[in-house]
């Protein structure tokens, strides 16, 4: 353990998670490296099966042992005291002290992640009794303050209600109250608004933004929604087939995506198409949407070279030979593509 | 203007005990012109899917009428309805749940042909199935596979092929993209656009994704708690929403563009959607509306013609709404 006041909140290096299944070894997450700055939000973006959730569960060490998982790499987390710990190497009791305390997590589906047989107050109180050592009365009072913090109306009454008595938006607020109860320094949010309606999503995102400003916590935001990323992330890491294919600050990523997959992902959004039409003075919907052809290859039979090569419009013969490395591609940017790394020197000259 | 292909008049669908019904769809009227794609947008519980299903009589309406080429579907006999169903088809949201896992693709498509007496004879049927698969971007040899052998996007293509098998005029597409990944959504949107143009289909496109609606639809109906808030041509709605709810809905949908000038102006709605068992009196949106006045509680706003094909159900004309997207 060493002290480092200017450290990154979380520095993930070469994280790989394999599942040993009957059909063979599945590389769910391979060689994933990214970082989260203190007080900032890093978004992990990708489609289903890209390894976003397995990444977050690996970091929290929440994958069950019965899955015969093999995780390797480092996840250097800097705690409140300024000590840097490797989450993947900590003994389980030390990890248990961090989970729900220094690092909290909220999930996509608030109905299945809250316990249906306890009141919301009891569930929040349980975590603060465990981590902060408060007695029952003080813990319930703390739970009430947490419900007020997340702007739940009539919090004193809601404290004694069960999850089924709350709406989806209210349940997600309770999840956030639960996560915030021990004042975490890192919040991992795995698709926190995907199950919610847009007007409720806007409320929850606004709440998360406010809490981040007030507490200075870092957020790892896992989502497939590029609109949410654009407005709520500082840095973005794009995943494809278990690997990070591009990472960049949010404005730079949307302004000039480097990896062909990121380019395709942005180009295929109807809103981007509409923007192009407006810019060119064209009428609505006359142009086809750009579509990335084909589909993700099976994790049991990955292509020999770049995972995106079979769907890539710019693929060369060399793309079939080896998986490209994640290489620097401009200031604070990296991309996993041989076309980008060839162009990278030009970018650094002009920068 | 030509005669509408589909006309919905004062449609109501209540569920549960008549004394205290869930008002899923409450007095909804709109029409769809031949060749038009009408978008139906709203949040969960707004009645989108119930309207879609009631339109095709997959569930019966409580009151009101649905007219197809002037014929009242509600009073059609079951044999007449079966014949009409070849003209009125549906594409479902979940491509995993809407295909029978025990049937091969050729049987899924073949059943639709058989029921409606189309492509009789084994050879004709096989040729038609191959043709349908190619129409939706699959290959003829896929016919002998089972649904589990396909990805989500491919399954949705099979769902589209099944709807098209009977040569329909009108298709209800109920959230056909929401189970699909972004890169696959674009493929299916392009497919729907191509087919609509090639087969001159009329479509009711139900979605909560406003970006796709803006791209795909000619006109849009905005629903809230089972009632119509606003009807407008797509470009006009997105440029200048007239109803406070439409405005809030557009503002709440984050655009994939991190420009700072768009970041601050959120008109976040407070509170939750009220229960459809006990909707607010007067305007159902008043409990969350930033422009609410006393009269909103006492008056049920009618859908008023605002000119240029625009309608809104809001008593206030004195508020200036700007598009924030």
| Cβ-defined contact of A47 to B258 (cutoff 8 Å) | no
Flag whether pLDDT at A3 surpasses 50: no
Q: In this model, does residue A298 exceed pLDDT 90? A: no
Main-chain phi, psi angles of A239, to 5 degrees: -105, 145
Residue A70 φ/ψ, nearest 5 degrees: -130, 110
d(CA B316, CA B301): 9
Q: Does B275 touch chain A (CB under 8 A)?
A: no
Q: What is the mean pLDDT of chain A?
A: 89
pTM (2 decimals)? 0.88
pLDDT in tens, B146-202: 999 998 889 999 999 999 999 999 999 999 998 888 888 999 999 999 899 999 999
Q: How does pLDDT run across B211-235, given as a tens digit for each residue?
A: 999 999 999 999 999 999 999 999 9
> Between the CA of residue A177 and those of A87, A104, A149, A218, B299, what are the distances in Å?
24, 10, 7, 16, 39
Query: Tell me: the pLDDT tens digits for B18-60?
Result: 888 999 999 999 999 999 999 999 988 899 999 999 999 999 9
Please report the pLDDT score of residue A274 as a whole number: 75
Does the pLDDT at position B265 exceed 60? no
Say which of A167, A198, A270 has its CB closest to residue B212: A270
Q: What's the pLDDT score for residue B260?
A: 54
Q: So what's the pLDDT on residue A296? A: 86
Distances (CA, A) of A49 to A57, A245, A298, B265: 14, 14, 10, 34
With bands split at pLDDT 50, 70 and 90, how would you rate the model's confidence at A285?
Answer: low
Put simply, whether A223 touches B (Cβ < 8 Å) is no
| B44 contact residues in A (CB cutoff 8 A) | 197
pLDDT tier at A346 (50, 70, 90 boundaries)? Answer: very low
CB contact, 8 Å: A18 with chain B?
no
- pLDDT for residue A222: 96
What's residue B163's pLDDT?
95
The mean pLDDT value for B60-85 works out to: 94
d(CA A17, CA A323): 17
Please, which residues 263-282 of chain A have a Cβ atom closer than 8 Å to chain B?
Answer: 264-266, 268-275
User: Between chains, do B257 and A275 touch, taking CB under 8 Å as contact?
Assistant: yes
Q: pLDDT higher for B4 or A273?
A: B4
B323 touches chain A (CB under 8 A): no
CA distance B215 to B196: 14
Q: According to the model, what pLDDT value does residue A351 have?
A: 29
Residue contact A284–B249, C-beta within 8 A: no
Look at A113-122, A333-342, B237-246 and tell me which has the smallest mean pLDDT. A333-342
Q: A230: nearest CA in chain B? A: B258
Spatial contact of B8 and B38, defined as CB atoms under 8 Å apart: no
**Average pLDDT in the B292-297 region?**
94
Rounded to a whole number, what is the distance in Å from the CA of A284 to chain B's nearest CA?
7
Tokens of A112: 């299945």
**Could you tell me if B178 lies within 8 Å of chain A, comparing CB atoms?**
no
Residue A195 is predicted with a pLDDT of 83
Task: Supply the pLDDT for residue B322.
Answer: 61
Give mean pLDDT, residues A89-93: 94
On the question of pLDDT at B121 being above 70, the answer is yes
Calculate the CA B263 to chain-centre distance: 30
- Residue B264: the pLDDT is 45
Which residues of B are less than 8 Å from A198 in CB distance? 43, 208, 210, 249, 252-253
Q: Which residues contact B149 (CB under 8 A, 6 or more apart)?
A: none
Between A197, A206, A232, which is nearest B44 by CB?
A197
Task: Examine the pLDDT at A86 and tell me if it is beyond 80.
Answer: yes
Closest residue in A to B194 (Cα–Cα): A288
Cα dist. A323→A246, A314, A327 in Å?
A: 14, 15, 12
Listed range (A6-15, A271-280, B39-48) with the worst mean pLDDT = A271-280
Count other C-beta atoms under 10 Å from residue A55's C-beta. Answer: 28
**How close A287 gets to chain B, by Cα (Å)?**
10
Assign A254 a pLDDT band (cuts: 50, 70, 90). very high
pLDDT of residue A6: 61
Q: What is the 3-state secondary structure (H, E, C) of chain A?
A: CCECCCCCCEEEEEEEEEEEECCEEEEEEEEEEEEECCCCEEEEECCCCCCHHHHHHHHHCCCCHHHCEEEEEEEEEECCCCEEEECCCCCHHHHHHHECCCEEEECCCHHHHCCCCCCHHHHHHHHHHHHHCCCHHHHHHHHHHHHHHCCCCCHHHHCCCCHHHCCHHHHHHHHHHHHHCCCCCEEEEECCCCCCCHHHHHHHHHHHHHHHHHHCCEEEEEECCHHHHHHHCCEEEEEECCEEEEEEEHHHHHHCCCCHHHHHHHHCCHHHHHHHHHHCCCCCCCCCCCCCCCCCCCCCCCCCCCCCHHHCCCCCHHHHCCCCCCEECCCCCEECCHHHHHHHHHHHHHC
Q: Which two tokens stand for residue A324?
A: 């490209």
**pLDDT, mean of residues A113-130:** 94
Model pLDDT, residue B275: 87
CB contact under 8 A, A197 and B212: no
Q: Which of A199, A250, A273 lies closest to B252 in CB terms? A: A199
Q: What's residue B92's pLDDT? A: 92
pLDDT average, residue stretch A51-62: 92
**Distance between CA B137 and CA B189 in Å, rounded?**
13
Cβ contact B211–A269 (<8 Å):
yes
**Record: contact B256-A226, CB cut-off 8 A:** yes
Whole-number pLDDT of residue A109? 79
Distance, in Å, from the CA atom of B42 to the CA atom of B284, rounded to the nearest integer, reads 13
pLDDT of A196 reads 86
Whether the predicted pLDDT of B267 surpasses 70:
no
> Does A199 contact B at CB distance below 8 Å?
yes
SS3 B318: coil
């Amino acid at each position: 353990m060493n002290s480092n006041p200017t450290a990154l909140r979380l520095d993930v290096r070469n994280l790989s998670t394999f599942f040993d299944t009957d059909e063979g070894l599945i590389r769910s997450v391979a060689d994933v490296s990214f970082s989260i700055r203190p007080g900032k939000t890093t978004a992990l973006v990708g489609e289903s099966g890209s390894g976003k959730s397995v990444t977050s569960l690996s970091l929290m060490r929440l994958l069950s042992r019965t899955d015969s998982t093999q995780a390797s790499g480092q996840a250097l987390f800097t705690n409140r005291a300024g000590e840097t710990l490797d989450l993947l190497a900590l003994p389980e009791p030390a990890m248990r002290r961090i989970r729900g305390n220094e690092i909290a997590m909220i999930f996509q589906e608030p109905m299945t992640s809250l316990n249906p047989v306890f009141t919301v107050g009891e569930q929040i109180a349980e975590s603060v009794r465990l981590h902060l050592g408060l007695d029952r009365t003080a813990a319930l009072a703390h739970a009430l303050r947490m419900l007020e913090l997340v702007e739940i109306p009539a919090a004193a009454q809601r404290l004694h209600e069960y999850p089924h008595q709350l709406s989806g938006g209210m349940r997600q607020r309770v999840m956030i109250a639960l996560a915030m109860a021990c004042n975490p320094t890192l919040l991992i949010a795995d698709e926190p608004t995907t199950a919610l309606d847009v007007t409720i999503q806007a409320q929850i995102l606004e709440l998360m933004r406010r809490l981040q400003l007030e507490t200075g916590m870092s957020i790892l935001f896992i989502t497939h929604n590029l609109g949410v990323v654009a407005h709520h992330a500082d840095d973005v890491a794009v995943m494809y087939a278990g690997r990070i294919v591009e990472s960049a600050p949010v404005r730079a990523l949307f302004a000039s995506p480097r990896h062909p997959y990121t380019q395709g992902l942005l180009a295929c959004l109807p809103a981007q198409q509409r923007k192009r039409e407006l810019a060119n003075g064209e009428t609505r919907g006359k142009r086809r949407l750009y579509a990335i052809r084909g589909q993700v290859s099976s994790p049991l039979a990955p292509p020999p070279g770049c995972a995106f090569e079979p769907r890539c419009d710019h693929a060369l013969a060399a793309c079939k030979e080896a998986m490209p490395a994640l290489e620097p591609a401009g200031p604070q940017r990296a991309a996993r593509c041989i076309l980008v790394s060839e162009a990278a020197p030009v970018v650094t000259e002009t920068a | 203007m030509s005669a509408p292909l589909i006309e919905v008049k004062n449609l109501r669908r209540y569920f549960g005990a008549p004394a205290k019904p869930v008002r899923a769809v409450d007095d909804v009227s709109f029409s769809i012109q031949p060749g038009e794609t009408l978008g139906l947008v709203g949040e969960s519980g707004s009645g989108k899917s119930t309207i879609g299903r009631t339109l095709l009589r997959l569930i019966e309406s409580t009151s009101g009428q649905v007219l197809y080429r002037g014929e009242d579907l509600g009073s059609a006999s079951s044999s007449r309805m079966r014949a009409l169903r070849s003209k009125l088809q549906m594409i479902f949201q979940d491509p995993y749940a809407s295909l029978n896992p025990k049937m091969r693709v050729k049987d899924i498509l073949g059943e639709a042909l058989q029921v409606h007496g189309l492509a009789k004879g084994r050879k004709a049927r096989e040729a038609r199935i191959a043709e349908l698969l190619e129409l939706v971007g699959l290959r003829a040899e896929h016919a002998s596979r089972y649904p589990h052998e396909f990805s989500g996007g491919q399954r949705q293509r099979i769902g589209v092929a099944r709807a098209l098998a009977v040569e329909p005029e009108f298709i209800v597409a109920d959230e056909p993209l929401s189970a699909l990944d972004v890169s696959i959504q674009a493929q299916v949107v392009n497919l729907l656009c191509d087919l609509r143009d090639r087969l001159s289909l009329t479509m009711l496109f139900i979605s909560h994704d406003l970006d796709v609606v803006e791209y795909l639809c000619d006109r849009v109906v905005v629903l809230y708690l089972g009632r119509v808030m606003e009807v407008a041509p797509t470009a006009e709605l997105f440029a200048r929403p007239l109803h406070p709810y439409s405005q809030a809905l557009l503002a709440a949908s984050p655009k994939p563009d991190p420009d700072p000038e768009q970041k601050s102006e959120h008109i976040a709605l407070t509170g939750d959607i009220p229960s459809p068992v006990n909707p607010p009196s007067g305007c159902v949106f008043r409990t969350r509306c930033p422009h609410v006045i006393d009269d909103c509680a006492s008056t049920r706003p009618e859908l008023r013609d605002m000119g240029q094909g625009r309608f809104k159900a809001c008593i206030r004309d004195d508020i200036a709404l700007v598009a924030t997207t």
